[in-house]
Amino acid sequence: MGSRLLLVGLLSAPLFKIIYLIVQGKLGANPVERLILETGQASLMVLVFLLAIPRLAPWLPWLKGWVSRRRLIGLTVFVYACLHLLLYLADHLGQWVKLPEDLARPFVVTGLVSWLILFILSATSNRLSQKRLKKRWKGLHRAVWLVIPLIAVHLTLKEEGILITAFYWFGPLLGLVVAQGVLLARKNPK
């Protein structure tokens, strides 16, 4: 029970931060832009957390219980991504003429494709989809890894080519994946 409560608290922390910023009036000169940034970062943070848990669980036994809660974590990623997209669209209210031009921008396209992948994964994360898709379900849900390079491009283009932002978010995850591969290779030499 305590582990589940801790997980829900961690997943809710970005939302509480956003609420705090709104209530305290600390969103700055462009509040919608700041909210877009905060929800995007929240989605990204939870996504990295989702993908890191199975890699960290062998070393951190208390995380093993969270491996079975990846559906909840994945749906949280999608909720934050939806808020990010809705705020982006809200920022364009009254400027619908400019929206098609904006949608042609590469960083927007990569963000939308990422959202579509997350949508498909969220829509098929239920038991009925698992039964219908059978073995294909696991393969489909590995598509979450396609989101990583898309978001890396999204971040890099949004920051006008500054690649360090993508490394900041995905570097630790890449390190975990490489470490896991090295350990597996040492454990099972051919």
Query: Does the pLDDT of residue 58 top 60, yes or no?
Result: yes
* pLDDT score at 10: 95
Task: Assign 1 a pLDDT band (cuts: 50, 70, 90).
Answer: low
* pLDDT score at 98: 78
Q: What value does the mean pLDDT take over residues 93-98? A: 77
Higher pLDDT, 94 or 76: 76
Q: Which helix (H) or strand (E) holds 132?
A: helix 127-133
* pLDDT score at 2: 66
Higher pLDDT, 190 or 188: 188
Query: Does the pLDDT of residue 185 top 80, yes or no?
Result: yes
Q: Sort residue 161 into left (φ over 0), alpha (ψ -120 to 50) or beta.
A: left
Nearest to 56 by CA among 134, 173, 184: 173
Measured distance CA(85)–CA(21) in Å, rounded: 19
DSSP secondary-structure letter at 61?
Answer: G
* pLDDT score at 183: 82
* pLDDT score at 94: 75
Q: Structure pTM?
A: 0.90
Q: What value does the mean pLDDT take over residues 158-177? A: 84
Q: What value does the mean pLDDT take over residues 92-112? A: 84
Higher pLDDT, 147 or 58: 147
CB 82 within 8 A of CB 40: no
Query: Does the pLDDT of residue 32 top 90, yes or no?
Result: yes
